[in-house]
Structure 1
């Protein structure tokens, strides 16, 4: 028996524990978002309306914004409006750029106003259109599995409802909604499928939409099965160090279906299938060095080493961080690194202060100027490595020590004024070492906070 829109919405809310959440509704003014707005209100779910005005349809766009605001007053909920300039939509295709702009804005509202979820009114017909769009773009199993009903903070409670069912719901409840005239224009690929292609299939194959949804479900199950099998079989090729991941590519090269295996190993870091092909190309190349090739996804950064691919979460480009250490400070926590500072008089046996522990720096207090500070590596940095007479660029030092780009960017440098005293976890500067003339010693130790 076919379920009503109300029943499908209620089931979704129950299964996804949405009843007590604070929800931001992405509202266009069309029948889909009007229906979802009504359902949220009827079920007493706390929500607010967010509407984007791209000013692409003149007065029609402005009237949509007024309609959205009036509806928020009707339901006594908060209303957020964002008006975008035409220049903001020029960088790429209008539809894809508009999507990025609105989701960035929705995310900002959620962060500032403590919303738990973003609700969109995507429905079954949207899902089918997406399937065909991705099919023409060469998508794999994951892409052809359709839109997710719930992913991260985004929920789509009407995803299993057809467009016709939603229209019947708004008519049955006498709800007004807006018609977007641009939906009738087939110059956009999605509209072309909606207006031209899919109606032909409806005439020829009456049940094809239902079959398509079933096929998407089968593809999703197949994709998840492959992911689990690859992850289990090749877990020995993957090692973790703190938050970073290393995949042994050299050992994968001899495997059958190596491209697909690597894709599934890389996928959780949002790398595409094409990136997996490029990574393999680097390691299969007989020209030049393998190390130092960089790859990016929207969330991660990967660098090739001699045998492995080193993967790390992208560090957002922000103002450089500097952490100061005063003369009276005894410890400082910098992200996950705890620096412990101690002072003592030098003993007659100076060997007592010498150590091969790279996480311990023993320094001559007389050579230091407080406050000391910790910072990241910068281009052009140099120091005089312990045991050497000449200065060396840190970039060259890191290459010699086989420190890749990701690890280099994570290193903390302990500095006195403009001088680098210690590359944390590696080596001190020779100018600050203790010797037979040292009277006072400062010792700095570092450990990660999750160590025992």
Structure 2
């Protein structure tokens, strides 16, 4: 298996000499193997390793057991560890997604926060996971992309174990004397992926052949096809997309495989939610030469002036600015902020500042002069604690693909030297809490306009 992992790393250029790598670790066999293997490569690649564990708060004492195991395992390998304790059950309801999906979102958000600029995030996905993903997508109805399985590498996320089976990983643990924990919910068929793993895959194995390796070869071939079609689509858009949108004459004449992908790219670039029906209706409008489609509450596709264009209905928000007050401050049309001052009784509690903290608080004693709670102004900049670079708020909002009304509703705190906290992004580096912090300014929550 060592050779398999090394070959995967080399083939996809997952690691470069001197890389900083954040490793997601649950305590299961897969993530234990991943961390152990990367430790064996630490000297060869001069890697800076850091582990991340999320306690989802769903399994009570068992979750605490897993956390303690991970803490001890990382300590034995001399790998620093960041731990996030999250109430996934509550957050899933707030986000209106399943606990399974909410847990995935929270993990990746945490990994990104812990990852240094230019660093890598390593996850322990295997060949088994990729097969289950293919079957899951197939059951829901999918296009070619959904049959490509889990990508070996996506942006800064690497998956060195993607060519290994679960059986190989368990053998690796046994051979190297590695213990691991087992999540009891893995045996519960209430979760879709568990049902696939526990019932569907065993039935397919009865058909004979090497199911996982065969599926691995299939997904590799399909990824090549999908990559080619994506390139062709981007070339098509370079020729036929203007500031007004995509030329409908070109969409009508293009092969459906490229035309549908072009519409999907337009929706993604515009930050619109979408499904297959939206794409089909947009292509029908292009074919007929007219029409408007409401994709969501304020997102629209429209055929106008010979082009298919995406646009958002913006909501006007009047400028607001108020002096800092503790408690609840209503700013504008139901937009409110809750702020409180918290004394830090034991400064040693802040020796290991949790990254999640820096998104909701700042060091009160580092504020310079008077503080106001206000809306963004032209020229505002912030040096975010996790970015190590100064960026304009306009650039940050563009990166998040926020609409004009969404940008206008973002709350910020500014002192006499500039912005010190921005909703959704966190505090400025100069106001970040540290070991010497004695008072925290905590921004508990912001209410958004509902009308």
TM-score bracket, normalised by the shorter chain, equals 0.5 to 0.7
State how far apart, in whole Å, the 2-side matches of 1:69 and 1:126 are: 25
- Matching residue of 1:186: 189
**1:50-104 deviations in whole A, cap 9, x for unaligned?**
1111121111111001111112211222211111123113232110111112111
- Matching residue of 2:85: 83
Aligned residues: 319
Mapping of residues 149-160 of structure 1, within 5 Å: 149-160=152-163
Mapping of residues 44-443 of structure 1, within 5 Å: 44=42, 45-85=47-87, 86-90=89-93, 91-110=96-115, 113-114=116-117, 116-232=119-235, 235-239=238-242, 241=243, 246-249=245-248, 251-252=249-250, 254-255=252-253, 257-258=255-256, 260-268=257-265, 270=268, 272-283=275-286, 290=291, 293=293, 295=295, 303-304=301-302, 306=304, 307-310=306-309, 320-323=375-378
Give me the TM-score of the superposition, normalised by structure 1: 0.62
State how far apart, in whole Å, the 2-side matches of 1:23 and 1:272 are: 34
Whether contact under 8 Å (1:303, 1:406) holds in the other structure is no
Q: Which moved more, 1:84-93 or 1:39-48?
A: 84-93
Query: Is 1:20 aligned to residue 27 of structure 2?
Result: no
- Matching residue of 2:341: none
State how far apart, in whole Å, the 2-side matches of 1:16 and 1:268 are: 26
TM-superposed CA distance for 1:290, in Å, is: 3.8
Unmatched runs of 5 consecutive residues or more in structure 2: 269-273, 318-334, 336-373, 381-390, 396-401, 408-451
Whether contact under 8 Å (1:263, 1:272) holds in the other structure is no
State how far apart, in whole Å, the 1-side matches of 2:117 and 2:264 are: 30
- Matching residue of 1:329: none
TM-superposed CA distance for 1:220, in Å, is: 1.9
State how far apart, in whole Å, the 1-side matches of 2:85 and 2:393 are: 38
Query: Is 1:40 aligned to residue 38 of structure 2?
Result: yes
State how far apart, in whole Å, the 1-side matches of 2:22 and 2:211 are: 34
State how far apart, in whole Å, the 1-side matches of 2:119 and 2:166 are: 27
Whether contact under 8 Å (1:13, 1:19) holds in the other structure is no
Helix, strand or coil at the partner of 1:205: coil
State how far apart, in whole Å, the 1-side matches of 2:379 and 2:232 are: 48
CA RMSD of aligned residues (A): 3.8
Give me the TM-score of the superposition, normalised by structure 2: 0.62
Unmatched runs of 5 consecutive residues or more in structure 1: 326-332, 338-404, 411-452
State how far apart, in whole Å, the 2-side matches of 1:252 and 1:73 are: 59
Q: Give 1 or 2 for the bigger CA radius of gyration.
A: 1
TM-superposed CA distance for 1:295, in Å, is: 4.5
Whether contact under 8 Å (1:49, 1:77) holds in the other structure is yes
Whether contact under 8 Å (1:263, 1:273) holds in the other structure is no
- Matching residue of 1:393: none
Change (3 A) 1:407 1:31: closer
Helix, strand or coil at the partner of 1:209: helix
TM-superposed CA distance for 1:218, in Å, is: 2.2
**1:105-148 deviations in whole A, cap 9, x for unaligned?**
222222xx546111100000100011100001111111101110
Helix, strand or coil at the partner of 1:323: coil
TM-superposed CA distance for 1:254, in Å, is: 3.7
Helix, strand or coil at the partner of 2:253: coil
TM-superposed CA distance for 1:46, in Å, is: 1.6
Q: Which moved more, 1:186-195 or 1:229-238?
A: 229-238
Q: Which of the numbers 6, 19, 27 marks the counterpart of 1:10?
A: 6
State how far apart, in whole Å, the 2-side matches of 1:168 and 1:230 are: 43
TM-superposed CA distance for 1:200, in Å, is: 1.9
State how far apart, in whole Å, the 2-side matches of 1:28 and 1:149 are: 19
Helix, strand or coil at the partner of 1:322: coil
Change (3 A) 1:253 1:193: same
